[in-house]
Amino acid sequence: MRELNPVGGRLIDDPAKLIAFKVAMTGLAAGLIFKLRYYRRAQLASWWACLILTFVDRSVADVQFDARMNAAISFCIRKAR
């Protein structure tokens, strides 16, 4: 597994620290959104961030699905021989 976040990348060998880091960052982000929820610009920025992250998630999921399908097809072909 490869962590793309440079800070998280340094923590990848220690799952407890990585989980704590991710929970803390998610909590911080949620707290900021909650605190700034009445500001129009903050609302707009959070909706755009949500939309962008949805597109990124879908593209990553598609790549992972393609990789799994290619591996499954290769496995079936090898078994058939």
pTM of the model: 0.52
Position 61 pLDDT exceeds 70: no
Where does the pLDDT of residue 64 fall: very low under 50, low under 70, confident under 90, or very high at 90 and above?
low
DSSP states of 5-58:
SHHHHHTTT-HHHHHHHHHHHHHHHHHHHHHTTTSHHHHHHHHHHHHHHHHHHH
Between CA 52 and CA 58 the distance in angstroms is 10
Between CA 62 and CA 3 the distance in angstroms is 18
pLDDT score recorded for residue 24: 92
Q: Where are the domains of the chain?
A: 1-35, 38-81
- pLDDT tens per residue across span 29-57: 889 888 988 999 988 988 888 888 888 87
